[in-house]
């Protein structure tokens, strides 16, 4: 452990000593420190090469009135920590008395054990050479692919820690790598068409470069044969990535912080309500082995867990921090950040199908359905087109209209609807679950959604 970027024991000793000198009795610290290497190219030439060390360190201090002051620093020296503790203590005098988070009651509970292999770094030279080769192979996949305008190969080693004055001490280290290839195809007299692929692993040597190339090429070529779509209501099949984007965009439906702030689609007493078709279940599983960003604890030191969110269409749990859990009289769930007003966010959604006698259209399958439908690949402009507190969305998307097994790319169109109605109108969840870089989901079929096209 001598190579660790964060030395927990020394850090805790420093903070304990300094807090006594400043007469601070209650404090905690959350830290993430990482080393990143990334490369980008343009036509086989290096475009951007970066090697950085990032530090995100938050210190909270409670004053005698139990008000919380917060400060951020990147300096873990004794002098830097003294300044941070003093600044946080001063800030506590101006804190909102209605927002006083406490230590998580689970911050000293035994953490789950997960496999997080620490991979050796390939280094800039190998990352660059592999990316140049990948670009060249992708360009040779089809005459129409003229460039790979967006690409990147990156690897990082990072550590997270949580320490508090009550004796909690958490630490983890991990490595992660990612490859991104986004191709652009051009044909004379036609609009350029683009698509891409991203692959993530514990280390750069584990990235399936060939699979990333093939997926980027296949998706890009599939969009060459395009035509306008008529405005109307269509049978919709969401690919896993698109459905996960929707779930994440409307995660306020199970976020306790959003409920307290009055910006959720749910209320405090919504647990137990049927909010979706009974064939739908969703877990938030931050510990899933395919979640390469997994951590065994959250920003408050609460252990991460596999939490059931929706079971057979029924809302079963909210995600909580210490402060929201106290209001709801439950335990924290391991989804908190760290701060004076603690944010709560989901980890890793896992969508799966439940058996049900009420299942409709069980024969629907995106690979062999003869009925006309729209296959939605990606949802775009999520930051602008989602009104999360209202439940509505209107989003440009990439996809195909499929008839008798033949796919024709949609030139440009917008899909719109109400998320709550969408959950109720799911008529088929395919059995095969697909792992993506931000969750797991099968293909999801919706009875009718409005599409605005060019004609």
Predicted confidence (pLDDT) per residue in 155-207, tens digit: 999 999 999 999 999 999 999 999 999 999 999 989 999 999 999 999 999 99
Domain boundaries, the chain: 8-38+45-92, 124-221, 226-246+357-452, 254-353
CB proximity list for 135: less than 8 A, separation 6 or greater: 41, 43, 44, 148, 151, 181
Per-residue model confidence (pLDDT) at position 4: 65
Q: Which two tokens stand for residue 102?
A: 């406490």
Per-residue model confidence (pLDDT) at position 369: 85
What's the mean pLDDT in 287-298? 95
What is the distance between the alpha carbons of residues 399 and 279, in angstroms, rounded to a whole number?
A: 25
Percent of the chain at pLDDT > 90 equals 87
Residue 76 pLDDT greater than 90, yes or no: no
Range 124-221 has CATH code 3.30.2290.10: yes
Q: Which residues pair with 39 in a beta bridge?
A: 49, 153
Residue 403 pLDDT greater than 60, yes or no: yes
What is the distance between the alpha carbons of residues 196 and 398, in angstroms, rounded to a whole number?
A: 12
What is the distance between the alpha carbons of residues 297 and 31, in angstroms, rounded to a whole number?
A: 12
Rounded (10°) angle between helices 124-139 and 209-221: 30
Percent of the chain at pLDDT > 70 equals 97
Q: What is the distance, to the nearest Å, from the Cα of residue 267 to the centroid of all Cα atoms in its chain? A: 24
Q: Scanning the structure block, which residue is given the tokens 């927002």?
A: 99
Could you read off the pLDDT of 124-136 as tens digits, one per residue?
999 999 999 999 9
Mean pLDDT taken over the chain = 93
Classified as helix, coil or strand, 252 is helix
Closest by alpha carbon to 444, among 351, 367, 316?
A: 351
Per-residue model confidence (pLDDT) at position 356: 64
Could you read off the pLDDT of 326-351 as tens digits, one per residue?
999 999 999 999 988 899 999 999 99
Per-residue model confidence (pLDDT) at position 153: 98
Q: What is the distance, to the nearest Å, from the Cα of residue 404 to the centroid of all Cα atoms in its chain? A: 35
Per-residue model confidence (pLDDT) at position 391: 96
Per-residue pLDDT band for 1 (boundaries 50, 70, 90) equals very low
Per-residue model confidence (pLDDT) at position 3: 59
Per-residue model confidence (pLDDT) at position 357: 53
Per-residue model confidence (pLDDT) at position 272: 97
Closest by alpha carbon to 94, among 119, 59, 123, 63?
A: 63
Q: Which residues pair with 42 in a beta bridge?
A: 45
Cβ-contact 252, 264 below 8 angstroms: yes
Residue 455 pLDDT greater than 70, yes or no: no
What's the mean pLDDT in 378-406? 94
CB proximity list for 287: less than 8 A, separation 6 or greater: 112, 114, 294, 296, 304, 305, 306
Residue 5 pLDDT greater than 70, yes or no: no
Residue 324 pLDDT greater than 80, yes or no: yes
Element (H, E) at 45: strand 45-62
Reading phi first (left if > 0) and then psi (alpha if -120 to 50, else beta), residue 158 is in beta
What's the mean pLDDT in 303-317? 97
Per-residue model confidence (pLDDT) at position 10: 86
What's the mean pLDDT in 358-381? 83
Could you read off the pLDDT of 96-125 as tens digits, one per residue?
888 889 999 999 999 999 988 999 999 999
What is the distance between the alpha carbons of residues 202 and 246, in angstroms, rounded to a whole number?
A: 26
Strand-strand pairing, 406-410 and 226-227 = parallel
Per-residue model confidence (pLDDT) at position 2: 42
Residue 77 pLDDT greater than 60, yes or no: yes
Residue 445 pLDDT greater than 50, yes or no: yes
Q: Which residues of 46-78 are buried (b: 16+ CB within 10 A; e: fewer)?
A: eeeeeeeeeeebbbbbbbeeebbbbbebeebee
For 71, 91, 198, 373, the CA distances from 86, given in Å and listed in that order, are 9, 9, 44, 62
Closest by alpha carbon to 35, among 55, 59, 61?
A: 55
What's the mean pLDDT in 4-12? 76
Q: Which residues pair with 40 in a beta bridge?
A: 48
């Amino acid at each position: 452990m001598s190579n660790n970027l964060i030395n927990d024991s020394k850090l805790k000793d420093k903070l304990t000593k300094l807090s006594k000198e400043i007469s601070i009795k209650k404090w905690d610290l959350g830290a993430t420190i990482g080393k990143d290497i990334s490369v980008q190219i343009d036509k086989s030439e290096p475009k951007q090469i970066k090697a950085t060390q990032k530090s995100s360190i938050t210190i909270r201090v409670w004053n005698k009135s139990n008000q919380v002051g917060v400060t951020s620093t990147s300096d873990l020296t004794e002098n830097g920590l003294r300044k941070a503790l003093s600044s946080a203590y001063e800030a506590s005098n101006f804190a909102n008395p209605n927002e006083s988070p406490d230590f998580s009651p689970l911050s000293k509970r035994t953490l789950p054990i997960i496999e997080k292999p620490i991979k050796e770094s390939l280094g800039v030279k190998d990352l660059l050479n592999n990316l140049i080769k990948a670009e060249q192979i992708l360009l040779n996949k089809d005459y129409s692919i003229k460039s790979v305008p967006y690409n990147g190969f990156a690897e990082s080693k990072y550590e997270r820690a949580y320490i508090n004055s009550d004796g909690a001490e958490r630490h983890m280290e991990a490595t992660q790598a990612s490859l991104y290839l986004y191709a652009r195809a051009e044909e004379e007299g036609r609009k350029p068409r683009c698509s891409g692929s991203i692959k993530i692993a514990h280390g750069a040597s584990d990235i399936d470069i060939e699979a990333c190339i093939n997926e980027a090429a296949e998706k890009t070529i599939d969009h060459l044969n395009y035509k306008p779509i008529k405005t109307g209501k269509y049978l919709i099949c969401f690919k896993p990535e698109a459905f996960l984007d929707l779930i994440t965009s409307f995660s306020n439906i199970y976020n306790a912080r959003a409920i307290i702030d009055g910006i959720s689609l749910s209320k405090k007493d919504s647990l137990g309500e049927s909010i979706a078709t009974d064939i739908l279940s969703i877990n938030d599983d931050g510990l899933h082995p395919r979640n390469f960003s997994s951590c065994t604890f959250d920003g408050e030191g609460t252990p991460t867990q596999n939490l059931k969110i929706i079971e057979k269409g029924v809302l079963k749990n909210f995600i909580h921090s210490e402060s929201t859990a106290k209001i709801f009289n439950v335990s924290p769930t391991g989804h908190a950040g760290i701060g004076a007003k603690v944010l709560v966010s989901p980890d890793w959604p896992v969508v799966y199908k439940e058996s049900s006698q009420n299942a409709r259209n069980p024969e629907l399958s995106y690979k062999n359905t003869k009925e006309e439908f729209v296959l939605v690949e990606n949802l775009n402009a999520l930051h602008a087109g989602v009104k999360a507190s209202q439940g509505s969305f209107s989003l440009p998307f990439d996809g195909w209209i499929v008839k008798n097994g033949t796919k024709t790319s949609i030139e440009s169109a917008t899909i719109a609807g109400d998320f709550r109605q969408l959950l109720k109108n799911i008529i088929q969840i395919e059995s095969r679950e697909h792992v993506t870089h931000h969750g797991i989901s099968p293909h999801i079929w919706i009875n009718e959604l409005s599409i605005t096209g060019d004609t």
